Chains A and B, each alone.
Chain A
Amino acid sequence: MEITEERRNGLVILSVQGRLDASNAGVLESKFLTLIAGGDRRFVLDGARLDYISSAGLRVLLVARKRLGPSDGVIVLCALKEQIKEIFDIAGFSSIFSIYGTQDEALAAQPGQM
């Protein structure tokens, strides 16, 4: 699993590549919590190269969302592969997190913040 971090329009884009399971979910959790502690509030998780996610990976998103609290913080997802999108649906995560088809759509849907 590899995480690439990028900033566009005031959002942090995290691209996760490979498998997100119990062996490495802690790495993504630390990444989120460090960024949130540093003041970042708006995130896009790009799943274009994410091959697999288990509940350990889903849990990280819930932990990060809770850490943001009832602030203006937001976590959205984009470019999830079909089978991963289905897992989000089954877990009920599709109603918690907005999911966009592409990264451009995800960015366009967020109000700009320079």
Chain B
Amino acid sequence: MDGQRAIVLTNQFTELERVAHEVEAFGEAHGLGAKSIFNVNLALDEILTNVISYGYPEGGEHVITVRLKLSAAELVIEVEDDGRPFNPLGTAAPDTEQSPDERPIGGLGLHLVRKVMDRLEYRREHGKNIFILTKVMR
């Protein structure tokens, strides 16, 4: 069941679909269920969308690297980018009980990541942001 894969993409939203297909292929090849694959793709999409949206205010083409590492115990997804420092753990969770008029637009992405993954870690290292998402295999 162990497996690893690296996916390299540029900072464009059109890359999200290709990344999703690669994660799906990886998941299917290693026997992950459809629900796990869906949730892992969602979490990864949200992190990548944040990086692409806010990581590069100066523009230009940048490379983002995704590494998938699967063991019997867990699936670890590492996202590495050279965008401006951004710690997603510092953002407040939205109040999902609020009415539509009260609810701020935004902040949902990281809420979803926290809900569908078991652990979310962040560190800044050698001028890069590194996000580590972990899904415990049950």
Contact = CB atoms under 8 A, between A and B. Distances in A.
A72 B34 CA distance: 39
A37 interface: no
A22 B50 CA distance: 10
A4 B54 CA distance: 31
Interface residues of A, number: 22
A23 B17 contact: yes
Interface residues of B, number: 32
A54, A59, A63, A95, most chain B CB atoms within 10 A = A54
A60 to B, nearest CB: 10
B100 A90 contact: no
Interface of A: 19, 21-23, 52, 54-56, 58-59, 62-63, 65-66, 70, 83, 87, 90-92, 95-96
Pairs of residues from A and B, 8 with the lowest C-beta to C-beta distance, nearest first = A92-B96, A23-B13, A55-B109, A55-B108, A22-B49, A83-B38, A22-B13, A90-B115
